[in-house]
Structure 1
């Protein structure tokens, strides 16, 4: 859909948000590595329970590609909808690009 092709899917194998809410960088990096594929242009981490904001830049550096997380994309879209521009490389590559405005 929309020109996006899913190259792989991976689950953390956890049933509840409470189980992953306390994860740190080590667990997030393990999950990201397990989900990543060589042909993927980006990695999506769709769980809002994961505390990813302080780890996105490190994950991107480790994987060599953009990492998009549920919370990060939600904040970015809210800023876009209110016509705000934020350049915050610490929040990942997404926050270093101009948002695409749909007409």
Structure 2
């Protein structure tokens, strides 16, 4: 899960993580069910070579939107309601990547 005022920033936080997860052939069915187009062989190769530019290009906004909760707060809250309430999950905790700076 990732939320930010800028949707691109929220998605960018997840691209490498999703690349790691979705590169495996055992996720082909998940991709198919979600209607996601992803070249898993190219993704696996790019990840193995630590070619982050290619990984981040292959893990498109479509991939992020289909396989993660990500976006602006305005997009994030309705997504969570649609995705988690039907499975009787009424509470979702999301933590910031970094602790906010506090003034002394």
TM range (shorter): under 0.3
Normalization by structure 1: what TM-score? 0.26
Q: Kindly indicate whether structure 1 or structure 2 has the higher relative contact order, using CA contacts under 8 Å at least 6 residues apart.
A: 2
Structure number having the greater helix percentage: 2
| TM-score (ref. length: structure 2) | 0.26
